[in-house]
Amino acid sequence: MNTTQEINPQLLETLIPEMPVINTGSLTAEQRAFYDREGYLVLPSLLSHDELKPVREALEQKVSEIAESLRADGLITDKRENDPFETRLVNLFKKLTEADFLKYGRSWRDLYPGYFHLMSNSKILDAVESLIGSEIFANPVYNARPKVPGVAAGAVPWHQDRSYWPSANWNPVITVWIPLVDTNKVNGCLHVWPRTHKTRLVEYHSETHTGTGYTEIDLKEEADRHAVALPVKAGSAILFNDRCIHMSTPNKSDHVRWSVDLRYQPTGQERMNQYGVGFLARSRAFPNRVATLEDWQAGRDEHEV
């Protein structure tokens, strides 16, 4: 699709002023300019296999807990412990229903160390610093997402993340979306509607297809016409803020499309603690307040000094 096509101002509300210029972090001036103009940025192969290992281990732990629960409930007899990471969850639910799967939620937000280590990764924080500055709070709305073939809840409709926290103040919340397997149009890669990131909140409703009540914008057909698919390799990162309209398609492959979406915001913004446990991830001004794993797991958003 044409990423330079102008957005119809009659469809989207008044534009928000441009972000202030920030000269720290790892992004180049060209990358910052692309993000500011298009509303998203792809960082190919940002993280190595070793850097993804802690979060993969966290997900493997979660899947093992689910397998144990399914066996305890009499729904399976084989926990598939020798299956590969990419297919074990598919095989566990192969003869079960979507309701059985949704018992464990459409996304996961556990306090596993692997999630904390990923959210604290310096490569991620360096990129985010280029967009919002060096005082960075890891938002409590992070998710590990197993997009399982044949499960409707794996497909996420067109939406703005801000629709999930519409009353929060207007500083940016930056999403960093990271796949743990290669993503493509078959297994359900991310799609964005470029240049919607400076709009105010678009009208939306709760969809009914997945049974989970995702928010969905009222401009689906318009979004489909502007859609840009973003297939990327495992360990890549796609950055966008909570006003950028985006979606992902169903998984039609034979494996789980694993991904995590992390969120960051300036420390001066409302921390949205009602959604879970966030933490101070970086501070050049107060480095001794940056949270540790122990702080996060204890529900403290800063280190006590």
Domain boundaries, the chain: 29-269+276-297
CATH architecture observed for domain 29-269+276-297: Sandwich (2.60)
Token pair 């985010």 in the structure block, residue: 128
pLDDT number for residue 48: 97
pLDDT at 2: 38
CA distance readout (Å), 4 to 221, 226, 304: 18, 10, 48
DSSP strand pairing (156-159 vs 228-230): unpaired
Give the pLDDT of residue 108. Answer: 92
Given a cut of 50, whether residue 29 has pLDDT beyond it is yes
pLDDT at 15: 55
- Determine the angle formed by the axes of helices 29-38 and 122-132, rounding to 10 degrees: 70
Higher-scoring residue by pLDDT: 246, 199: 246
Question: Which range (8-12, 78-82, 131-135, 259-263) has the least confidence?
Answer: 8-12
Looking only at the bridges linking them, the beta strands covering 190-193 and 245-248 are: antiparallel
Between 3 and 111, name the one with better pLDDT: 111
Supply the mean pLDDT for the chain.
90
pLDDT band at 154 (very low <50, low <70, confident <90, very high): confident
Q: Which residues contact 8 (CB under 8 A, 6 or more apart)?
A: 222
For 182-196, what is the mean pLDDT? 96
